[in-house]
Amino acid sequence: MNISEAIRTRRSIGKVTEEDIPVSHIEQILEAGTWAPNHKMTEPWRFFVLRGEGRKVLGEALADVALASAADPSSPEAAAAAEAARMKPFRAPVVITVAVTPSEHDKVIELEEYGAVFAAIQNMLLEAHGLGLGAIWRTGAPAYHAKMNEHFGLGEKDKVLGFIYLGVPAEGQAPQGKRKPFGEFTVWVDEAGPLKK
């Protein structure tokens, strides 16, 4: 598959089988992430590959976040929400937690470190697609909670930017993609001068 085809046919696939993913495929996906552009070659990405019982690390983190976010952590509702959160990582045989560790370099802008890791995630999703695997990048408020950093041994300035759930796609076709024409978001500038709204 060429790069244009990969970009246009990649879809978020959340329903996957429990079939194991070869370590060589996981390593290929991780390496693809490291080829993302990053200013000053800071390589700010951190990857945590969760398989088998290792997925419990994320499950416990999600459960702790659910309890910490509950109005009454001792309520039956909070306990049920925590248990539901605890089981989420078991929706796929492999979950790759992706985090950013911003550089302390005085010429590196922190926001650009986030951009580099987001680019790494896109590389990883495209590599997974090229390998015929299903993947979905899951994010949300729990990813950014301080308790998530605690569970993954991350520093105060570090941030989890999401979880790539990875597996063999379950039966069924990937949804058709739809995007607005690029022209709706594009301004062509051929001459110097102020741009108009």
Which residues contact residue 102 at a Cβ distance below 8 angstroms, ignoring those fewer than 6 apart?
42, 44, 108, 110, 113, 114, 157, 158
Ligand-binding site membership of 11 (annotated): yes
Tell me how far apart the alpha carbons of residues 29 and 23 are, in angstroms, rounded to a whole number.
10
User: Does 139 count as an annotated binding residue?
Assistant: yes
- Residue 179 annotated as part of some ligand binding site: no
Q: Is 103 annotated as a binding residue?
A: no
The verdict on whether residue 24 carries a ligand-binding annotation is no
Q: Which of 60, 65, 87, 90 shows the shortest CA–CA distance to 78?
A: 65
- Centre a 10 Å sphere on the Cβ of residue 185 and count the other Cβ atoms it contains: 8
User: Is 4 assigned to a binding site?
Assistant: no
In whole angstroms, what is the distance from residue 46 CA to residue 116 CA?
11
Q: Is 55 marked as a binding-site residue?
A: no
Q: Which residues are annotated as a binding site for FMN?
A: 10-12, 39, 137-139
